[in-house]
Amino acid sequence: MRQIATLARYSALELARSWWTACYCLFFMVLAFAFFAFGEEPAQAVVSVLNVVLLVVPFVSIVMGVLSFYTAREFAELLLAQPVGRLTVFFGQYMGTAASLALAFAIGLGIPFVWYGWNAREQSGTLVALLFGGILLTFIFVALAFALAVRTENRLKALGAAIFLWLFFALVYDGLILAVIVAFSSFPLEKVLLGLIILNPLDLARILILLRLDVAALMGYTGALFRQFFGSPLGIVAASACLTVWMALAVAVGASTYVRRDF
Amino acid sequence: MRLPQLISNSIIAFAVWLVLWSLAGRASESAPNGTTNSQASAATLVVCPRCAIKRLSDALREASAGAKIILQSGIYNEGEMTIEKPVAIEGQDWPVLDGAGKNQVLTVKADNVRLKGLVIRNSGKSYIADLAGIRVEGARNCVIEGNRLTDNFFGIYLASSANCAIRGNEIRGNAVSEVFSGNGIHLWNSNRITVERNHVTGHRDGLYFEFLHDSNILGNVSENNVRYGLHTMYSANNHYSQNILRANHAGVVLMYSRKLKVVANRFEDNWGPACYGALLKDLDESELERNLFFHNSVALYADDANRNRVANNRFYNNGFALRIMANANGNVFSGNLFEANSFDVTTNWSSGSTSSFDGNYWDDYRGYDLNRDGIGDVPFWPVRLFGLLLEEYPQAIVLLRSPFAELLDAAEQAIPVLTPHNFADQKPLIARPPWSKSQTSKSALAQ
């Protein structure tokens, strides 16, 4: 355990020293300050920030995850020559990468949130939900990145696959949902949609945050049903289970491949 | 003129003025409005718990036509009272007429009746009869002014009446459900009624008009009613202006009517699933001008509404600014401001509606103006593809604010193929029109 922590700290520091992480942090800070300063309503600023978070966090997480895995490759090989378990090295790297990205995100968004959230206290719950959702997404998508990167020696191939995976979650999946809605429009679809939304961490995060906001009124009957579900204990368990399962699954796939892999 | 002289002169002048004023006052008291043709003696009856006349019903029996009844403070629990001759009842220090939750309180069946300064409360509630605080039946020239109506089933109810004024009343109901509640001001089959500066809250519909013609609805506030702020059915030639319709299920609902003028009203905070700022159903040849629609789920909904003019309104921060069904034809939308709405315009799929847009300001407009005449050189298509999808497949709302929905809209904006072609503003404004400058600030909206 201590070894994991040491390794995590090392790779976190490695990433923290990188220029890109600082940019990532700064990006969210500038973005949130801009939206809050120029938007008229805090709720609208939250929606705008949400849109960007849902696009950028998974993308940066999955790409930085793949890149940092390959960057630390030689160091990992050196480590593996020492009496250190493979799982330890894998988890150390994963935790370090994910934690530093999550931290950059949290600092970048957290400072404007505290600054402006003070004036818009009715939104503070939503701001916390948005921060928390972004951090969870970071951990999920770095896990996915590692699961991809472990499987191939080819850095470009892994990067391509990562971008495809991001596109799938961010765009293609919603297209499929729309196809389902159009194809089965004469059936009551609310429960099916609920299931489909829960299965995609990006959709789940988006809906959970929208339900907290004013715009939820536009969602009519479907929105009312969703709100009822996610307000119930079952809904909370289902939502958090789903996010955890995604992360656990990706980490498990990555770890099992890493253990069996020929370096 | 020396100072002592000046003072004494002004004292005399003041005394003379005082005498004249009191004479004039008495003269006007003895001849109340609208009783000029009655030969009644100008009697004034005073009613109070310790006076010679202790009950309002006794005073009504004794009073001759044209009399004035001064009702002093006290609680009068006398069952249903009917006014059958032209009298004026004026309350002093808010006398209370209590219906004890059983019956109607005041029924007016005579012309030229004037009610002022009364507290009327606790009318009965019924599924069968429309019990009201004040009911006017087949009367003309009534004036109902400055009363407080609390916890009545219906507040003020006019049936088959004309030339009445309902002014400055405070009407507060305790409605919980739509099914078992009455309207604040209910006008049925009436003409030339003025409804002015009333405040209605906690009823089913704040203001309800059915078969109402040639009337003026001005400066009322109708808020927190369980159904609509203002509801009009089968009416024509009414003028609605400067009313505030706030936090009702729907602000104003205009149905099966024609030639209404709706000018300079505020529709705000009608927010929630299936809430509307203004709902137009079978409304023809009417005008909606210079209204403010702020923070409504659907600001303006038009279903089978034809040949209306919607001009110079401001749609700010609504969910849907306009929902125009395919059967709404010949409506013209011009000079309106659309700002910060989630959807500016939606319509049914492949809408055949012949409504048109001309010279509006759209905050989503990204065109240019080479000749600098203030009008954009490329048309604006306000219908977004995602909005169109929503009308056809309401469940697609689960994709609200998703990158996929934004992508669909971006693609459609670049090459409009699916959105209806007649729903294009050929002359979109580049900048906000000058009249809107004064009310762009948030503080102006918060008033």
ipTM of the complex: 0.84
Q: What is the residue type of A122?
A: E
> Which B residues 311-330 touch A at CB under 8 Å?
317, 319-320
Proportion of chain B above pLDDT 90, given as a percent: 60
Given an 8 Å threshold on Cβ–Cβ distance, is A221 in contact with B273? yes
Report the residue from B320, B393, B404 with minimal CB separation from A182: B393
Tell me the chain B residues in contact with residue A44 when contact means C-beta distances shorter than 8 Å.
Answer: 340
What is the predicted pLDDT for the residue at B42?
57
Report the residue from A50, A171, A215 with minimal CB separation from B404: A171
Residue A179 confidence (pLDDT) above 80 = yes
Residue A58 confidence (pLDDT) above 50 = yes
Domain that holds residue A105: 2-260
CA dist., res. A226 & res. B400, Å (int): 13
What is the predicted pLDDT for the residue at B351?
56
- What is the residue extent of each domain of chain B? 70-446
**Which residues of A touch chain B, with CB atoms under 8 Å apart?**
40-41, 44, 47, 50-51, 54-55, 170-171, 174-175, 177-178, 181-182, 185, 189-190, 193, 197, 203, 206-207, 210, 214-215, 217-224, 226
Task: Give the residue among B414, B412, B426, B439 at the shortest CA–CA distance from B264.
Answer: B439
CA dist., res. B243 & res. B267, Å (int): 8
Long-range CB pairs of B316-319, under 8 A, 24+ apart, other chains included: B316/B292, B316/B340, B316/B341, B316/B445, B317/A40, B317/A41, B317/B341, B318/B277, B318/B293, B318/B294, B318/B342, B319/A215, B319/A217, B319/A218, B319/B271, B319/B343
Report the residue from A51, A171, A217 with minimal CB separation from B401: A51
Confidence band for A37, pLDDT divided at 50, 70 and 90: confident
Of residues B320 and A17, the one with the higher pLDDT is B320
> Which B residues 372-391 touch A at CB under 8 Å?
389
Q: How many domains does chain A have?
A: 1
Given an 8 Å threshold on Cβ–Cβ distance, is B402 in contact with A203? yes
CATH code for the part of the protein at B70-446: 2.160.20
CA distances from A259 to A2, A69, A78, B237 (A): 19, 15, 16, 83
Q: Which pair of tokens denotes residue A67?
A: 């890149």
Question: Which chain B residue lies closest to A227 (C-alpha atoms)?
Answer: B398
Tell me the chain B residues in contact with residue A47 when contact means C-beta distances shorter than 8 Å.
Answer: 401
**Distance between B375 CA and the closest CA of chain A, angstroms:** 26
In the predicted model, what is the mean pLDDT of residues B288-307? 94
Q: Residue holding tokens 């609509």?
A: B228
> Which B residues 34-63 touch A at CB under 8 Å?
none
Report the residue from B340, B389, B403 with minimal CB separation from A170: B403
Confidence band for B204, pLDDT divided at 50, 70 and 90: very high
Task: Give the residue among A190, A204, A162 at the shortest CA–CA distance from A50.
Answer: A204
For residue A44, count other CB atoms closer than 10 A to its CB.
Answer: 18
Q: Could you tell me if B418 lies within 8 Å of chain A, comparing CB atoms?
A: no
Task: Give the residue among B145, B140, B217, B228 at the shortest CA–CA distance from B184.
Answer: B228
Given an 8 Å threshold on Cβ–Cβ distance, is A218 in contact with B397? yes
**Distance between B243 CA and the closest CA of chain A, angstroms:** 25
**What are the pLDDT digits (tens) for B139-180?**
999 999 999 999 999 999 999 999 999 999 999 999 888 888
**Distance between B407 CA and the closest CA of chain A, angstroms:** 9
Question: Which chain B residue lies closest to A44 (C-alpha atoms)?
Answer: B340
Given an 8 Å threshold on Cβ–Cβ distance, is B340 in contact with A44? yes
What is the predicted pLDDT for the residue at B13?
66
CA dist., res. B87 & res. B104, Å (int): 19
What is the predicted pLDDT for the residue at B28?
47
Given an 8 Å threshold on Cβ–Cβ distance, is B400 in contact with A215? yes
DSSP B154: E
> Which B residues 245-274 touch A at CB under 8 Å?
271-274
Tell me the chain A residues in contact with residue B394 when contact means C-beta distances shorter than 8 Å.
Answer: 220-222
**What are the pLDDT digits (tens) for B81-93?**
999 999 999 999 9
| Range list of H helices, B365-402 | 385-392
Given an 8 Å threshold on Cβ–Cβ distance, is A218 in contact with B406? no
Contact pairs from chain A to chain B, CB under 8 Å: 86
Q: Could you tell me if B407 lies within 8 Å of chain A, comparing CB atoms?
A: yes
What is the predicted pLDDT for the residue at B413?
79
Of residues A91 and A116, the one with the higher pLDDT is A91
Question: Which chain B residue lies closest to A194 (C-alpha atoms)?
Answer: B398
Confidence band for B3, pLDDT divided at 50, 70 and 90: low
**What are the pLDDT digits (tens) for B352-399?**
678 889 999 998 888 899 988 999 999 998 888 888 888 888 888 889
Tell me the chain A residues in contact with residue B393 when contact means C-beta distances shorter than 8 Å.
Answer: 181-182, 185
Interface test with B, best of A53, A57, A178 (most B CBs within 10 A): A178
Interface test with A, best of B388, B393, B402 (most A CBs within 10 A): B402
Report the residue from A40, A203, A226 with minimal CB separation from B442: A40
Q: What is the residue type of A17?
A: R
Tell me the chain A residues in contact with residue B273 when contact means C-beta distances shorter than 8 Å.
Answer: 217, 219-221, 223-224
Element (H, E) at A246: helix A233-260
Interface test with A, best of B363, B398, B443, B445 (most A CBs within 10 A): B398
Given an 8 Å threshold on Cβ–Cβ distance, is B273 in contact with A217? yes
Mean pLDDT of all residues in chain B?
87
Residue B96 confidence (pLDDT) above 60 = yes
**Distance between B395 CA and the closest CA of chain A, angstroms:** 7
Given an 8 Å threshold on Cβ–Cβ distance, is A218 in contact with B272? no
Q: What is the residue type of B285?
A: E
Given an 8 Å threshold on Cβ–Cβ distance, is B271 in contact with A178? no
In the predicted model, what is the mean pLDDT of residues B24-43? 47
Proportion of chain A above pLDDT 90, given as a percent: 36
Residue B40 confidence (pLDDT) above 60 = no
What stretches of B214-265 adopt beta strand conformation (E)? 216-218, 221-223, 228-233, 239-241, 244-246, 250-258, 261-263
Interface test with B, best of A181, A190, A221 (most B CBs within 10 A): A181
Given an 8 Å threshold on Cβ–Cβ distance, is B342 in contact with A170? no
Q: Which pair of tokens denotes residue A32?
A: 């949130």
In the predicted model, what is the mean pLDDT of residues B54-75? 92
